[in-house]
Amino acid sequence: MRNAFGQPQTVLVLGGTSEIAHHVVLQLVRERTTTVVLAGRDKGRLEDAASELREAGATTVETITFDASDPSTAGATIDDAFHAAGGPIDLVLLAVGQLGDQDISDNDPVATIKLFDVNLTWPAAALAALRGRLISQGMGHVAVFSSVAGVRVRRANFTYGATKAGLDALAQGFGDSVRSSGIKVQIVRPGFVRTKMTQGLSEAPFTTDVDQAAETIVKGLSSSATVIWSPPVLQGVFFIMKNLPGFLWRRLPG
């Protein structure tokens, strides 16, 4: 059960090898979290993350595998996750996603489909599977990992940006639809975070380390904000970006 501060005891991470989500859970384990279910693609890396969480104090950590490029697996994955948790789940971190490579997806329909499957179709199906589960357990909290890349889509990663824009919109509507059932849905919009996923890419302004991002997100999770920006300054920056006239936006680098 979550407490008056919204601190969860049981957490499910969809995208269990996501570095940002992992650091968020590490901090939650220092608060009240004792049970964690990690769902991801790579069994070995999930087990590594699981043992780190056990060392940090989690008493029960379960891992389950799925392939997000096959959206038909979403329903079964959610079923497995609730089974592994052995009871109600207080917080779901939906952190499934890939960055992709714009140079490839520019001209490759198959790569484009795959990126949409992983970043949007699988998460959409997972939310649909979660909905009834959360309503019948009578409470819940979902944090959907979007990105500032979806707020205004840049030409340098427009396919990725478009998947996140779609996910962001879906999460907002999903949140509104379950609000009266006592389920809290928050959208997490990180900027550029130094992780394996972004290794080798040139850093954007307001880049943060994964620890900083996790700290901002954990703080946001116990707030009533519908969108968690990391770092918080990006809320203002992207308000301006979003409203820039197209001719100026196109002149910005990358």
Partner 1 sequence: MIDATEELLTGWGNTAPSLARVERPRTGSEVEEAFEDMTGPMIPRGLGRSYGDAAQCAGGTVVSNRGLWHLSPIDPETGLVTLGAGVSLEELLAVSIPAGYFVPVTPGTRQVTIGGAIGADIHGKNHHVDGSFTKHVTSMTLATPTGVVTLTQKSDPELFWATAGGMGLTGIITQATLQMIPITTSYVTVDTERFNDLDGVMNAMLSGDDDYRYSVAWVDCMTSGPKMGRGVLTRGDHAPRSALSGRSARKPLVAPSSSMLTVPFTPPSGLLNRLSITAFNEAWFRKAPQRRDGEIQSLGSFFHPLDGVSWWNRLHGHRGFLQYQFVVDDAHGEVIRQAIEVLSAASVPSFLAVLKRFGPADPGPLSFPLKGWTLALDMPIGPPQLADVLDQLDIMVAEAGGRIYLAKDSRLSPELLRAMYPDVQKLEEVRKRIDPKGVLASDLSRRLGLS
Query: Which residues are part of the catalytic machinery?
Result: 160
225 binds partner 1 (CB under 8 A): no
Report d(CA 133, CA 29) in Å as an integer. Answer: 24
Return the residues of window 76-95 that contact partner 1 according to CB under 8 A. 87-88
Closest CB 134 distance from partner 1, rounded Å: 9
In DSSP terms, 60 is beta-bridged to 35
> Please, which residue, 81 or 124, has the CB nearer to partner 1?
81
Pairing state of beta strands 35-40 and 60-65? Answer: parallel
Query: 163 burial class (0-12, 13-18, 19+ CB within 10 angstroms)?
Result: buried
248 binds partner 1 (CB under 8 A): no
Structural tokens at position 60? 């029960």
Total residues interacting with partner 1, rule: CB under 8 A: 23
57 binds partner 1 (CB under 8 A): no
Q: To which residue do tokens 């991470």 refer? A: 13
Closest CB 44 distance from partner 1, rounded Å: 32
- Residues 92-131, one symbol each (x = binds partner 1 by CB under 8 A, - = not), give ----------------------------------------
Return the residues of window 128-147 that contact partner 1 according to CB under 8 A. 135-139
Most distant CA pair in the chain, distance:
55
Q: Directed axis angle between helix 210-221 and helix 19-30, to 10°? A: 60
Catalog residues that contact partner 1 under the rule CB under 8 A: 1-7, 9, 31-32, 87-88, 135-139, 180-182, 219, 222, 224
